[in-house]
Structure 1
Amino acid sequence: MKKIALLTLSLTLLFGCGQTDKKSSKEGNSEAQLYYNGHIITMETDEINYAEAVVEQNGKIVFVGNLKEAEKLFSKNTKVDLNGKTLLPGFIDPHSHFGMVSNTMGQLNLNPPPVGNVSSISAMLDDLKKYKEENNIKDGDWIFGWGYDESQLTEKRHPNKKEIDAVLPNNPVYLQHTSGHMGVANSLALQKMNVTSATPNPAGGNIDRLPNSKEPSGLVQETAMYPFVGNMLQILHAKQGEYFDKTQNYYAENGITTAQDGMTDRNSIKFYQKQAKDGKLKIDLIALAGFSDLETNLADSTIHFKQYQNGFKVEGTKIVADGSPQGKTAYFTKPFLTPVPSCSHDCRGLASLTQDQLNNLFKVAYANDNQLFVHCNGDATIDMLIKAHEYACKALSQPLDKDRRTIAIHSQFVRPDQLETYKKYKIEPSFFTNHAYFWGDVHVENLGKERAFFLSPIATADKMGLKYTNHSDATVTPIDPIFTVWTAVNRTSRTGQVIGEAERATPYQALKAITINAAYEFFDENLKGSLKKGKMADFVILDKNPLTTKSTELKGIKVVETIKAGKTIFKK
């Protein structure tokens, strides 16, 4: 698996237009490109369907079907021999954090294997010390790290401020947990963010304390981490332009032609708008605006929700309703089975918002036809989502089953009865099967087999006719749609345990989750996501066919070429 740290590619990446709503400058004159002699999977139907040929012209698909017919209709064309490779619609990213991926370029990678190399707190501290020295970071300057995972450390715990102080006493330090829902600060960082023994826990958050003391340990969870993350983003913002192109290349290298920034502040929205206006998008980029800015964004005439402008659109609004299951801050109806930091009994995690707050957000959004994407891992949070949906519909006299496409992001530990409600109310889940590999063993330990084995239940959702998707949530796990297919099909943990055999997806179901279903999630099903005449010529070419490759070998499939609107943006 590729490391996010290796984002500066040595491969040649060619510039493509990536602008969904712009016509080719050569429209009417552009020579057609006819792709043939490969496994061309259309993803257009619920059943597997192959085509002998697909033809692109002026950035659009103009033919899908029989090779001889294609050759007759397009006699003057460039023929592209696939030589037995597989062509699919370009991968659509259902949920990741484009901006956070960019920001990792200004941070130290503290991930455990296979994403990084940190397996103990002592190794983490050594790396922090080296990072300062090798990058000539001055005393007083902030140092940021990302991706540490206490469940994979030898010590099986979070580091604390005193340990970080020992190696970096003269720099404020903030280390982001792999979940993105917590982090650890050293003493200088806590001081700069005004967190002291007298600081109370914010609503929906926790400031962990040293044993038998009110003194902060350095661990800040959920809303308590917001000031630290906000400060980090402000500091790293200066290099946003430098990182932007490298991040696009990274997505393109993985076959992605449409990316998502899963929670975007107003400054970043303006930055993306400028990049798009200046013609700098190689791929399409979809942003989800932050829920704290909902009313401001709705009143902002420069934000046109659900409309592409030069390859960029703000699709809707992201709400964070709970936390991380592996970080034990996701909100459940039944308690965790193992100890939870700063909790002594009935430890069921944290709701990030009250029911009344969530109700009001749904009401405002639904009144303005603003699509909602709600982060909800635990089943108690999903109950809150359903109640908020019902409340808003009743208050506004709207049908419960209107085609709003409210998306339940993660839906990791959704119950079967909640899936039935999703179906009834036209709420769609965006699953996260990478958890089966990265934290499947941890979930079995923390939650028990019944809950853990039903995580991200693609097989059940498919039988019910839900238009589920499946994502990486990068930076939580790496951008790698092929690996996501592997985790959906195999559901194998780090130790080789199968995390819910009954929920293993077929390869075709796993591909639907990152192509046609992902297009549906964004109201883009008539624009992309399958190979059909009139849709964008967004393609990914793979060295092997996922539908015929042995299931255990799926993660070894390589992206050979990525094509956006008929233009190659990555080629191996």
Structure 2
Amino acid sequence: MTITLYPARRIITMNPSQPEGDCLAVKDGRVLSLGSLEQARAFGEVTVDDRYADKVLMPGFVEGHSHALEGAIWEYIYLGWFDKQSPAGQRWSGLRDVASLQARLAEGLARLTPGEPLIAWGFDPIYFSGARLDKGLLDTVSDTVPIIVMHASLHVMTVNSAVIEQATIASKEIDGIVRNAGGECVGELQEMPAMHLVFDRYGIDFFEQASQPEALRQYARAARREGITTITDLLNPLSDGAVESMRSTTLEPSFPVRLVPALNALGWAPEEGSEQLAKAMTQGHDKLVFGIVKLVTDGAIQNYTARLQWPGYLDVEGNGVWNAPPQTFHDMVLHYHQAGFQLHIHTNGDEAVEVMLDALEEALCLWPRLNHRHTLQHVQLIRQDQLYRVKQLDACLNIFANHIYYWGDIHLSRTLGFDRCQRLEPTASANRLDITFGIHCDAPVTPLSPLFTAHCAHRRQTASGAVLGVEEAINRQVALEAITLGAARTLHLDRHIGSLEPGKWADVVVLDDDPLDESIALKDIRIHATLLGGLPTDA
């Protein structure tokens, strides 16, 4: 097969043995050489493609924690605080007061198919002053049509009186149903057990919807636009239908990314989950990789549902919400570890981190396993002693760097206070301890954009421009590694992706600007194109 050679202004490889290249030579979808044209010709006939001669090439970005829900959720009404762009390219303005939120819901109500619930998403109550959104404020839009508002974190929803009545929520005794001092259900449901009352009543399964072909295509298009060549769906039902849909869709020649779905462990009994994941693994291929398991332990700090150790939350009493009893998670860790799978464990609060480190420690004592790469996800409040334990257990981290920008001001003033904000998203400490780590966006919670995520880890600026925890800032090179090779390592895929070196898949992001140029903010660097297996994805 002919060798295709791409000259470029600069090639950043993320390979410490050969940090930069002259030209990218590709054969059979893999990197053949990064030397000169003459050196590439030693392998055979070369065809030069100079379309990127004035661009910068580097490994395609790896988004190690996001959700295919990004491709499905735009069917519903966006109520977020920040402006946002849909996968189709439409820009939605953020809403800054409850009246605007009610007006957008009313517009959606006017277009709603009779008999359907009105569903919205992206709302973040912590930004709104005054009364917290409850059933009363939603009832002003309608108290007869069911209204369901998913919060930005996807860990909380608010519903109106029609939903409370139709789903018989008031009579249920489930942790996460918020009630007022008189015991009345106010319409806020926190975490999965409470929210499933609504999902089950109306037959809503966002994650199954996200596994359908058009949602996957939308997700992939959004990823390509941001320079991503490998993307996760880090909470997938992995039903037979979902697996077949993902297989057939990713096999389409035009599908521009590699997809790594994770089994939603809480959706299966452990033995059944292991069997289903093993079965799914037989359906994988180069663009669809199965084998990881996701546990969602606690909630989100900005929703007050993350589990925190002392001194707890700054401005409210009480602690967060577990999505299942801690012993259930402990047992799942032991089961999936013994079965040989890799675990990705959602742990926002430091109490959740502690509980899961205990479980991992026991699992590794009982069944030692080299190179397991179990990964704690988010770890926003992980402490220094916990980081040391992560290192001792040879585990990995995937750090939610975008949180600094989107909720840093809130954490400083309301949820955590000054001191704990200095350790928020501790990328530099992870790097100092030589822990394998990536950084992520958790789309659709925050937008897909690895360069913006790298910017957040590098600059640590909040939306107001404040800098939180300057000692936890990482330099550009480390930040770029965290969205390429570091993220690939957390997925056990670094033998195939994450750097440009001979033998690896030729997955490339083409940039208009040099990401190592300190005069250009990482978030402002423009994506020109991507290549998957050495082929331009826009061809």
Question: Does TM-score exceed 0.5, indicating one fold?
Answer: yes
Q: CA deviation at 1:69?
A: 2.1
Which residue in 2 is equivalent to 1:125? Answer: 102
Letter in 2 for 1:418: Q
Compute the displacement of 1:235 (Å): 10
Of 186, 204, 209, which residue of structure 2 is paired with 1:217?
A: 186
User: Are residue 536 (structure 1) and residue 536 (structure 2) matched?
Assistant: no
Number of the residue aligned with 1:76: 46
**Could you tell me how far apart the structure 2 residues matched to 1:418 and 1:173 are?**
41
Structure 2 unpaired stretches of 5+: 85-92
* Deviation (angstroms), 1:313: 2.1
Query: Quick one: which of 314, 322, 326 aligns to 2:298?
Result: 322
CA shift, 1:300, in A, is 3.2
Cα 1:86–1:227 change in 2 (3 A) is farther
The CA distance in 1 between the partners of 2:475 and 2:197, in whole Å, is 42
Cα distance in structure 2, aligned partners of 1:414 and 1:170: 44
Instruction: Indicate conservation of the 8 Å contact 1:41/1:48, yes or no.
Output: no
Aligned twin of 1:143: 118
Whether the aligned pair in 2 keeps the contact of 1:252 and 1:570 (CA below 8 Å) is no
For residues 129 and 537 of structure 2, the distance between their equivalents in structure 1, rounded to whole angstroms, comes to 41
Report the AA paired with residue 473 of structure 2: R
Single out whichever of 326-335 and 186-195 deviates more from structure 2.
Answer: 186-195
Residues 48, 508 of structure 1: 8 Å contact kept: no
Tell me what 1:364 maps to.
Answer: 335
Q: Which residue of 2 aligns with 1:497?
A: 466
Distance across 1 between alignment mates of 2:420 and 2:207: 40
Q: Any idea what the Cα deviations from partners look like across 1:441-462, whole Å, max 9, x if unmatched? A: 1111211222112111111111
**8 Å Cα contact 1:306/1:316 also seen in 2:** no
Q: Distance in 2 between matches of 1:137 and 1:245?
A: 25
Question: What SS does the corresponding residue of 1:167 show, helix, strand or coil?
Answer: coil
Match of 1:422 in 2: 390
CA contact (8 A) 1:482 1:557 kept: yes
Structure 1 residue identity aligned to 2:213: G
Deviation at 1:339, TM superposition (A): 3.7
Give TM-score, length-normalised by structure 2. 0.92
1:311 pairs with 2:287: yes
Contact between 2:326 and 2:355, CA under 8 Å: does it hold in 1? yes
Q: Is the 8 A contact 1:269 1:287 kept in 2?
A: no
Match of 1:259 among 226, 231, 234: 231
Deviations 1:424-472 (A, max 9, x none): 1011110011111000111112112221121111111112111110000
Question: Aligned pair in 2 of structure 1 residues 228, 542: CA closer, same or farther (>3 Å)?
Answer: farther
Mean alpha-carbon deviation: is it higher for 229-238 or for 496-505? Answer: 229-238
Secondary structure (helix, strand or coil) at the match of 1:314 reads coil
Counterpart CA distance in 2 for 1:569 and 1:250 is 13
Q: Map 1:423-502 to 2 at 5 A.
A: 423-445=391-413, 446-502=415-471
Q: After the TM superposition, which residues 141-220 of structure 1 pair with which residues of structure 2 at under 5 Å, given as runs?
A: 141-155=116-130, 158-196=132-170, 198-202=171-175, 206-210=176-180, 212-220=181-189
| Distance change in 2, residues 1:58/1:363 (3 Å) | same
1:518 and 1:165 map into 2 onto residues whose CA distance is 44
Paired residue type of 1:86: V
Cα deviation, residue 239, structure 1: 9.6
Give the letter aligned to residue 383 of structure 2: R
Give 3-state SS (helix, strand or coil) of 1:119's partner.
Answer: coil
C-alpha displacement of 1:410: 0.5
Whether contact under 8 Å (2:208, 2:237) holds in the other structure is: no
CA contact (8 A) 2:211 2:246 kept: no
Instruction: Choose from 357, 364, 373 the match for 2:344.
Output: 373
Contact preservation (8 Å) 1:34, 1:56: yes
Q: What aligned pairs does 1:19-30 form with structure 2 within 5 A after superposition?
A: 29=1
Which of 319, 331, 354 does residue 348 from structure 1 map onto?
Answer: 319
- Shift in Å, 1:274: 3.7
Output the CA distance in 1 between the equivalents of 2:78 and 2:500: 38
Which residue of the partner structure matches residue 39 of structure 1?
Answer: 10
Equivalent in 492, 495, 504 of residue 523 of structure 1 = 492
Aligned residue for 1:12? none
Sort the Cα spacing of 1:179 and 1:48 in 2 relative to 1 into closer, same or farther, 3 A. Answer: farther
Letter matched to residue 130 of structure 1 = E
Distance 1:549 1:114, change over 3 A: farther
Going from structure 1 to structure 2, the CA distance change for 1:109 and 1:74 (only over 3 Å counts) comes to farther
C-alpha separation in 1, matches of 2:531 and 2:524: 21
Offset of 1:288 from its aligned partner? 0.6
* Greater shift in the superposed pair: 81-90 or 375-384: 81-90
Aligned mates of 1:356, 1:452 — CA distance in 2: 29
2:205 aligned residue (225, 233, 239): 233
Tell me the CA shift for residue 351 of structure 1.
3.0
Count of matched residue positions in the alignment of Structure 1 and Structure 2 = 523
| 1:318 partner SS | strand
1:380–1:189 CA distance, 2 compared to 1 (3 A): same
Per the alignment, do residues 289 and 421 of structure 1 end up closer, same or farther by CA in structure 2, a change over 3 Å counting? same
**Distance in 1 of aligned mates of 2:474 and 2:25:** 31
How far apart in 2 are the matches of 1:545 and 1:338? 41
Deviates more, 1:106-115 or 1:534-543: 106-115
Structure 2: how far apart are the matches of 1:374 and 1:238? 21
Q: 1:158 to 1:303 in 2, by over 3 A?
A: farther
Q: 1:58-137 to 2 correspondence within 5 Å?
A: 58-70=28-40, 73=43, 75-98=45-68, 100-115=69-84, 116-133=93-110, 136-137=111-112
Q: Which amino acid aligns with 1:54?
A: L
Residue aligning to 1:561? 529
Query: Partner letter of residue 347 of structure 2?
Result: C
Distance in 1 separating the partners of 2:335 and 2:228? 33
Residue segments in structure 1 that go unaligned for 5+ positions in a row: 1-28
Tell me if structure 1 keeps the 8 A contact 2:373–2:394: yes
CA gap 1:44/1:158 in 2 versus in 1, 3 angstroms: farther
Alignment partner, residue 250 of structure 1 = 222
Q: Which residue does 1:290 correspond to in 2? A: 264
CA RMSD of aligned residues (A): 2.3
The amino acid that maps onto 1:187 is S
CA distance in 2: counterparts of 1:192 and 1:323, whole angstroms = 26
* Equivalent AA in structure 2 for residue 495 of structure 1: S
Identical columns (%): 26
3-state SS of paired residue (2:359): helix
SS of the residue aligned with 1:40? strand
* Partner AA of 1:408 in structure 2: L
Letter in 2 for 1:127: R
The residue identity in structure 1 corresponding to 2:296 is: V
Letter in 2 for 1:250: A
Q: Using the alignment, how far apart are the partners of 1:510 and 1:239 within structure 2?
A: 30
Change over 3 Å in CA distance of 1:107–1:415 after alignment to 2 = same
TM superposition shift of 1:357? 1.3
Partners of 2:35 and 2:188 lie apart in 1 by: 57
